[in-house]
Amino acid sequence: MAIELKIPSVGESITSATIAEWHKPSGEYVGAGEEILTIETDKVSQDLEAETGGILTHIAAEGDEVDIGAVVGSIEPCDPPEGYEKSKPAVAAAAPAQANSTVTSAASSVDNSGAKATSVAVKIADEKGVDLSQVKGTGTAGRVTKEDVLEFIANGGGAGAGDPAKPTTRKKMTALRRKIADHLVNAQQDAAILSTFNECDMSHVMSLRKRVQEDFVAKHGVKLGFMSIFLKAVLEGLKEVPGINAQIEGDEIVTNHFYDIGVAVGTDKGLVVPVVRDVDAKSCAEIETDIIDYATRARSGKIQLADLQGGVFTVTNGGIYGSLLSTPIINPPQSGILGMHSIQERPVAVDGEVVIRPMMYLALSYDHRIVDGKEAVTFLVKLKECLENPEEMLGNLLD
- What is the CATH number for 324? 3.30.559.10
* CA separation for the pair 364, 313 (Å, rounded): 11
| Per-residue pLDDT at 13 | 64
Please determine, for residue 275, whether its predicted confidence score (pLDDT) is greater than 70.
yes
Which of 220, 307, 372, 399 is labelled catalytic?
372
- What is the CATH number for 12? 2.40.50.100
Looking at every residue in the chain, the average pLDDT score rounds to 85
Higher-confidence position of 305 and 281: 281
Which of 268, 280, 368, 399 is labelled catalytic?
368
* CA separation for the pair 339, 301 (Å, rounded): 25
First vs last C-alpha separation in the chain: 58
**In which domain, by residue range, is 159 found?**
107-172
Residues 211 and 188 placed together within one structural domain of the fold: yes
Residues 124 and 257 placed together within one structural domain of the fold: no
Among 97, 86, 370, 387, residue whose Cα is nearest residue 253: 370
Residues 379, 383, 389, 394, Cα dihedral to 10°: 100
Please determine, for residue 74, whether its predicted confidence score (pLDDT) is greater than 60.
yes
What would the mean pLDDT of 140-152 be, rounded to a whole number?
A: 77
What's the DSSP call for residue 32?
Answer: T
| Per-residue pLDDT at 98 | 37
* CA separation for the pair 280, 238 (Å, rounded): 11
| Per-residue pLDDT at 101 | 35
Give me the phi and psi of 141, to 5 degrees please: 55, 30
Residues 161 and 185 placed together within one structural domain of the fold: no
- CA–chain centroid gap for 288, Å, is 17
Please determine, for residue 193, whether its predicted confidence score (pLDDT) is greater than 80.
yes
What would the mean pLDDT of 358-376 be, rounded to a whole number?
A: 96
Q: Looking at the 3D structure of the chain, how many domains does it have?
A: 3
Residues 218 and 164 placed together within one structural domain of the fold: no
> Would you say residue 34 lies in a domain?
yes
- CB neighbours (10 Å) of residue 315? 22
Q: Compute CA distances 184 → 42, 79, 262, whole Å.
A: 13, 50, 16
| Per-residue pLDDT at 396 | 76
Cis, bond preceding 25 (omega within 30 deg of 0): no
* Catalytic status, residue 368: yes
Higher-confidence position of 58 and 155: 58
Range of weakest confidence among 82-96, 99-113, 115-129: 99-113
What would the mean pLDDT of 67-76 be, rounded to a whole number?
A: 92
The model's pTM is 0.64
* Catalytic status, residue 372: yes
